[in-house]
Amino acid sequence: MEFQNLGYLLVLLVLLAAALVIISKLTLDLLFELKYMLPAIIFTTAILAMINTRLAELQILLYNPNFLTGKSLLHFPVEEWLFLPVVSLLSFAAYIFAKTRLTSFEKPNVFVILSLVLLLLSGAITWFSRQKLYPFSIFMLLTIYFGYTIFRNRFKNHLTSFYLGFAIAVIPFFILKATLFTLPAIIPDTNFMLGISLMNMPVEEFAYFFLLLLINTTIYEYLRERRLF
């Protein structure tokens, strides 16, 4: 096994360590926060992994063995299994930073309006991409979950932190994903996508990350506020 095969895995391990360090610096009790983060991460990983494995089975997303260790679980590279919880923790670090350090910028009503606009946009993309499996599956799930979140109206007080956290975390996410698509460690079949990319990364990945952060933070706040365990 060459060093190149370990590249993806090593990057994920570095990001994991960085996320844990950042969260520990931002909170007084790391274990207390992780107690509510981990159920959210497990649920998010399970949902998005089902989509990813299906896309891999249909060869809509191919994974280049030259950049992988060759280990797999349920016919899916271990690096991709690790990617979801690592990126979830990284996004949590950005969310908690926004929640604890950017408290002066609180605009819940503005972000409710933005959310409604994005919900309509997501619904429209779902309809117009119904013949393309990758964007359809991501935007359909995003539309359903985002609509439930908005109209249930229990996440309004956290919307500012969510959007600021997304704006921060999407930068390292984009750098990582754009690198993986450029190498290419991940090879997409553009026939099943919108056909729009930024530095070789399909734009669907931004919606994917938005959904990942949304599911994580809504579950985390629900559990944390109610102290269910």
Domain limits of the chain?
A: 3-226
Q: What are 50's two structure tokens?
A: 């089902």
Helices 204-226 & 133-152 angle (0-180, nearest 10):
30
Question: What b/e sequence results for 17-30 when a residue is b if at least 16 CB atoms lie within 10 Å of its CB, and e otherwise?
Answer: eebbebbeebbeee
Q: What is the pLDDT of residue 123?
A: 98
Q: What is the pLDDT of residue 119?
A: 98
Question: What b/e sequence results for 73-87 when a residue is b if at least 16 CB atoms lie within 10 Å of its CB, and e otherwise?
Answer: eeebbbbbbbbbbbb
Q: What are 65's two structure tokens?
A: 């063995």
Q: What is the pLDDT of residue 149?
A: 96
What's the CA gap between 15 and 111, in Å, rounded?
29
E strand or H helix at 49, and its extent?
helix 30-57
Each of the 229 residues of the chain gets a pLDDT tens digit; together they read: 677 788 888 889 999 999 999 999 998 888 889 999 999 999 999 999 999 999 988 999 999 999 889 888 877 899 999 999 999 999 999 999 999 999 888 888 999 999 999 999 999 999 999 999 999 999 999 999 999 999 998 999 999 999 999 999 999 999 999 999 999 999 999 999 999 999 999 999 999 999 999 999 999 999 999 886 6
Distances (CA, A) of 86 to 44, 63, 67, 152: 12, 18, 18, 29
DSSP 132: S
Cα 229 vs. chain centroid, distance in angstroms?
A: 25
Instruction: State the first-to-last Cα distance of the chain, in angstroms, to the nearest integer.
Output: 44
**Cα dihedral 137/131/125/51 (nearest 10):** 10
